[in-house]
Amino acid sequence: MGTTILLNDLLCEFDADGLIVGDEDLPATDEGKKQAKIIAEFFHSKVSLIGNIASSDADRVSKLIHYLRVVSPNRYLIDTKVKITDALRERSFGVLVGSRYDFGSSVFSHSRVLGEGGESLSQCRDRATTFLDLFLTEHGKSLIVSHPLVCQLLTNIALEKSHTWVTSFWLAKGSFVVFNTRKGRFGYHWEFEGAYNAILGRSYNKEEIYNDILGTTGYTSC
């Protein structure tokens, strides 16, 4: 039995302006950097002894991991290796990047909706899940730091749901979800343990997760 945590990135300029960020490597804003310490301190109050870290190669993700290391109890994360990969980057939206189209809209649930030069939803999901299958270990705690849509897609896969547009939970910075993971004959089994928003100092129960993260009514067994 292992544990897998999905953690969101930091606020960047496009986020602050309500624009689609996509896979643009934009640095965290000053507000995002201030929030990083809050997120790191709250994170460590809920999670301990991370053994493996995988992250997007975006600058704002690197900044968040830096703060996670600096404020970790006994600085145990200082020597923890991070697997940095573009497989965990946000979806590429091509010419739609920088537009004001509502990123939380259900239009992005359709796999063929993409701008010129962008990638489809299924392409984004495939690269993220392929990496996930290679990265997960059966023992210890694994932390994955990525972006709203990728976190949404991986959460949906873990809970065996097809909902694909980004809900308010993952659009909010400081959000993370904790799953117990167990390797079975046909892949990993996921069991919801907890979900949190560090900026709000809030914990979510299982029913709230299905309502707020998946946007559905009620919940079923994981």
Q: For 67-81, write each residue's pLDDT tens digit.
A: 999 888 877 788 888
Q: Determine the pLDDT at residue 219.
A: 35
Q: Determine the pLDDT at residue 60.
A: 96
Q: Where are the domains of the chain?
A: 6-212
* pLDDT surpasses 60 at 132: yes
- CATH number, domain 6-212: 3.40.50.1240
- Paired sense of beta strands 50-56 and 175-184, if any: unpaired
pTM for the structure as a whole: 0.89
C-alpha distances out from residue 7 to 13, 83, 97, 112, 175, Å? 19, 15, 22, 27, 6
Tokens 């020597």 sit at which residue? Answer: 79
Residues 6+ apart with CB under 8 A from 134: none
Give 120-167 as a DSSP string. Answer: -HHHHHHHHHHHHHHH--SSEEEEEE--HHHHHHHHHHHTT----SPP
* pLDDT surpasses 50 at 160: yes
Strand partners, 6: 144, 177
Angle between helices 59-70 and 30-46 (to 10 degrees): 50
- For the chain, first and last CA: distance in Å? 16
pLDDT band at 105 (very low <50, low <70, confident <90, very high): low
Please write the tens of the pLDDT for every residue from 77-99. 888 889 999 999 999 988 888 88
